[in-house]
């Protein structure tokens, strides 16, 4: 369990920061690609004398940090979004004759729509980028420059971003990962081997000197998180590549493995040695299962039951719970046609999340974001201080739905602005630029800043700081094609960020707060609703092709939601003003419930997805079982959100007892009942928590 920012010692944060900067698989390669893309983009922009170079260089990070397969798509989307934004700004100015009130209303409306799209589509980054660029461009028209010049500057931005996108895409395709499936399998193997080694040493009663290197190895892999593996997964789904030996449900398995690494690293850090024979036996069993998972060997029912610990007391219990969730996932099913169970092609994923536009949480978030942007815009114009217009931009790019996530991003943006803008930007302006008289010295400086930012941005806990270091430095250092000679821009931009921090803290944390654990409960409830919808869907159709089309979208939503739940759990510690320890305990329990639900869903999905198992859809006893479970899911979803009690369904009433020993349907029925009962037990414990 992480310590909260309000209670953690300085040494703890220093240790976490140092751990976040440690080398991890693929980190150096991705950082060097970003540096190369940045240098090429810089040379082209300076040669062609393209304005707004700071925006172009920053977009290298937004595109270059993606995997090679999605670089082209995200790059094209970015250019299209830029063109649309420029057209929107020009249309608003032309139709309103550059009326100040029209500009204000347009900012409110655009930020509101941007907020809606952030939570309603699968293109969150582009939604925030649209709002960010619109607020940047509309600020041009606050000046008294000729309209022809402003239009030309706005159009030039499209060209600047296009250059950055083309350079990033070219570098990614030249030096990116060639065989993502094999690389992802390698990353999974590295982690399971590290776990097996560490727990084997515990089982053998190894000395501290033997254990420390193994614990450090697991901790470093845990610090890398799930993003690197998810990027490799994204390459596979976007290119529709052969997933090779990857197991079915790879996306959710990545989240499960990342969580297992976290709790195992915590156990290793707090237990340098184990002398209890029972703990040594358990560690040996965990080590053996981790070796089996490298080859995706399915455990026996006895081994699966042994890992089942309902109600974790210590960290080793949490390791068992997370390992049990992974072991509960269905085994691979041989056959070429079943490879679509491994990775869902992006073409089958809908752009808009069904029902998200009408959810009150989506509308509330968009309204809060629009209110913050409007307040900042009014303050900027009221005091006639254009330099602090970064406050409006900060609102858009820092906007997240929970108070903990908002605080985390604002703190990181402030730290990044101080390091990148004040320290590096002002430092370069004062001490370096006056002595630089060639493009070579500029390239070396920008390459160094890009390397620092890219390496920092590749971390797990403080990655957003790296992005903001790059953004703040570029904004300060690239005012034009000549070296900056004024210190006021850096000061103004920092004040703008502070203004946004105050306004967003007031709106998101005091006026209209949504605690992170509350949002996590809502996400868990939505996953239960998805599972219930899928259960009813299987009972209402006998057309397997139609079922697959509808179920694939649900599968994608549940996979992304569990990843979001895990991400939110990492921001709970930033919930100031509440009982953070209680909230951390709640987030841990909600995450465990989410992983258990994923295992339940995939045990259904893997079987009911196959042509040869069509009888499982038609069997009356199984239809009745799924109907009872769907009703139970609805009840648990409501109880999770409202923190109320709910009646547990007895296992014998879920399915006919004779079906449990059926030679064909028995294993499926037993697995389904076991996973459902586990979910009930975990969810029932949420009632008394925050």
What are the tens digits of pLDDT across the range 52-77? 888 889 888 877 444 445 556 666 77
Confidence of residue 483 (pLDDT cuts 50, 70, 90): low
pTM above 0.85, yes or no: no
**Which of 183-192, 363-372, 459-468 bottoms out in mean pLDDT, i.e. has the lowest?**
459-468
Tell me the average pLDDT across 598-625: 83
Tallying the residues shown for the chain, one arrives at 690
| Of residues 476, 366, 434, 445, the one with CA closest to residue 124 | 366
Tell me the average pLDDT across 630-644: 92
Site of tokens 């390992």: 323
Count Cα atoms within 13 angstroms, Cβ side, for 22. 18
Report the pLDDT value the prediction gives residue 22, as an integer from 0 to 100: 84
| Of residues 260, 261, 191, 230, the one with CA closest to residue 343 | 230
Report the pLDDT value the prediction gives residue 6, as an integer from 0 to 100: 44
Cα 669 from chain centroid?
34
pLDDT higher than 50, residue 349 = yes
Report the pLDDT value the prediction gives residue 2, as an integer from 0 to 100: 45
Q: What is the DSSP letter of 341?
A: G
pLDDT higher than 90, residue 35 = yes
Tell me the average pLDDT across 314-332: 84
Cα–Cα distance, 632 to 487 (Å, whole number): 63
List of residues 6+ apart from 66 with CB closer than 8 A:
74, 172, 231, 234
Cα 42 from chain centroid?
29
Cα–Cα distance, 421 to 491 (Å, whole number): 9
Contact 342, 243 (CB under 8 A): yes
Six-digit token pair at 550?
A: 């509808």
**Which of 224-238, 417-431, 440-454, 641-655 bottoms out in mean pLDDT, i.e. has the lowest?**
224-238
Q: What is the DSSP letter of 122?
A: S
121 phi, psi to nearest 5 deg: -130, 170
Confidence of residue 5 (pLDDT cuts 50, 70, 90): very low
Q: Work out the angle at residue 314's Cα, subtended by the Cα atoms of residues 312 and 317, and round it to the nearest 5 degrees.
A: 50
List of residues 6+ apart from 204 with CB closer than 8 A:
280
**Which of 142-151, 169-178, 210-219, 579-588 bottoms out in mean pLDDT, i.e. has the lowest?**
169-178
Tens-place pLDDT, residues 524-556: 999 999 999 999 988 887 677 777 777 888 888
494 exposure class (CB count in 10 Å sphere: 0-12, 13-18, 19+)? buried
The domain spans of the chain are: 10-176+359-511, 177-350, 515-690
Percentage above 70 pLDDT, the chain: 89
Tens-place pLDDT, residues 39-48: 999 999 989 8
Does CATH number 1.20.58 belong to domain 515-690?
A: yes
pLDDT higher than 50, residue 241 = yes
Helix (H, G, I), strand (E, B) or coil at 352: strand
Cα 301 from chain centroid?
33
Confidence of residue 502 (pLDDT cuts 50, 70, 90): confident
Report the pLDDT value the prediction gives residue 119, as an integer from 0 to 100: 81
**Which of 60-74, 216-230, 233-247 bottoms out in mean pLDDT, i.e. has the lowest?**
60-74
pLDDT higher than 80, residue 79 = no
Q: Which residue has the higher pLDDT, 102 or 344?
A: 102
pLDDT higher than 70, residue 4 = no
Tell me the average pLDDT across 388-393: 85
pLDDT higher than 80, residue 486 = no
565 phi, psi to nearest 5 deg: -60, -45
pLDDT higher than 90, residue 653 = no
Report the pLDDT value the prediction gives residue 404, as an integer from 0 to 100: 62
What is the pLDDT of the chain when averaged over all its residues?
A: 83
pLDDT higher than 80, residue 112 = yes
Other Cβ atoms less than 10 A from the Cβ of 17: the count is 14
Percentage above 90 pLDDT, the chain: 21
Contact 114, 128 (CB under 8 A): yes
């Amino acid at each position: 369990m992480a310590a909260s920012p309000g209670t953690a010692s300085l040494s703890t944060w220093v240790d976490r920061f140092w751990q976040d900067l440690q080398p991890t698989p693929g980190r150096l390669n991705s950082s060097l690609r970003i540096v190369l893309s940045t240098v090429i983009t810089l040379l082209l922009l300076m040669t062609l004398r393209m304005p707004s170079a700071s925006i172009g260089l920053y977009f290298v990070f937004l595109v270059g940090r993606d995997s090679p397969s999605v670089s082209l798509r995200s790059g094209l989307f970015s250019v299209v979004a830029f063109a649309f934004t420029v057209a929107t700004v020009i249309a608003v100015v032309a139709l309103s004759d550059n009326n100040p009130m029209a500009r204000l209303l347009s900012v409110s409306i655009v930020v509101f729509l941007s907020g809606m799209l952030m939570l309603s589509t699968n293109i969150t980054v582009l939604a925030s980028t649209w709002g960010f660029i619109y607020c940047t461009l509309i600020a041009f028209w606050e000046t008294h420059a000729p309209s022809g010049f402003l239009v030309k500057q706005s159009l030039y931005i499209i060209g600047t971003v296009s250059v950055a996108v083309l350079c990033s895409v070219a570098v990614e395709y030249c030096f990116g990962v060639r065989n993502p499936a094999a690389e992802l399998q390698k990353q999974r193997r590295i982690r399971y081997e590290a776990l097996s080694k560490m727990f084997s040493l515990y089982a053998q009663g190894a000395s501290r000197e033997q254990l420390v290197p193994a614990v450090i190895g697991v901790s470093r892999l845990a610090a890398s998180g799930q993003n690197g593996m998810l990027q490799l997964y994204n390459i596979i789904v976007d290119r529709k590549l052969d997933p090779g030996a990857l197991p079915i449900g790879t996306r959710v398995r990545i989240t499960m493995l990342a969580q297992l690494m976290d709790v195992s690293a915590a156990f290793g850090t707090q237990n340098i040695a184990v002398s209890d024979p029972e703990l040594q036996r358990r560690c040996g069993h965990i080590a053996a299962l981790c070796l089996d998972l490298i080859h995706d060997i399915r455990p026996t029912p006895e081994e699966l039951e042994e890992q089942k610990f309902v109600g974790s007391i210590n960290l080793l219990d949490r390791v068992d719970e997370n390992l049990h969730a992974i072991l509960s996932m269905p085994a691979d099913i041989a056959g070429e046609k079943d490879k679509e169970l491994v990775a869902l092609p992006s073409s089958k994923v809908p752009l808009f999340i069904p029902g998200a536009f009408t959810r009150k949480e989506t509308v509330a978030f968009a309204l809060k974001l629009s209110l913050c942007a409007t307040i900042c815009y009014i303050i900027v114009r009221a005091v006639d201080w254009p330099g602090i217009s970064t406050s409006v931009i900060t609102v858009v790019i820092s906007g997240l739905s929970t108070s903990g996530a908002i605080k985390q991003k604002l703190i990181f943006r402030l730290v990044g602005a101080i390091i990148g803008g004040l320290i590096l930007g002002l430092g370069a302006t004062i001490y370096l630029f006056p002595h630089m008289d060639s493009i070579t010295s500029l390239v070396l400086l920008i390459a160094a800043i890009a390397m620092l930012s890219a390496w920092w941005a590749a971390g797990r806990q403080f990655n957003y700081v790296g992005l903001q270091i790059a953004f703040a430095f570029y904004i300060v250092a690239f005012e034009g094609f000549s070296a900056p000679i004024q210190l006021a821009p850096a000061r103004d931009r920092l004040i703008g960020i502070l203004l946004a921090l105050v306004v967003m803290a007031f709106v998101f944390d005091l006026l209209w707060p949504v605690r992170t654990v509350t949002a996590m409960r809502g996400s868990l409830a939505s996953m239960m609703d998805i599972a219930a919808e899928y259960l009813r869907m299987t009972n209402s159709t006998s057309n397997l092709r139609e079922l697959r089309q509808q179920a694939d979208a649900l599968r994608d939503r549940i996979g992304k939601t569990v990843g979001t739940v895990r991400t939110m759990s990492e921001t709970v510690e930033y919930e100031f003003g509440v009982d953070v320890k209680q909230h951390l305990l709640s987030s841990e329990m909600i995450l465990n419930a989410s992983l258990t639900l994923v295992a339940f869903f995939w045990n259904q999905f893997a079987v009911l997805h196959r042509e040869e198992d069509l009888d499982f859809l038609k069997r009356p006893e199984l239809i009745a079982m799924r109907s009872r479970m769907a009703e139970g899911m609805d009840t648990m979803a409501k109880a999770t959100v409202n923190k109320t009690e709910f009646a547990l369904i007895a296992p014998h009433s879920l399915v006919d007892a004779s079906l449990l020993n059926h030679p064909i349907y028995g294993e499926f029925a037993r697995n389904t009942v076991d996973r459902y009962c586990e979910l009930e037990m975990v969810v029932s414990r949420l009632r008394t928590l925050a």
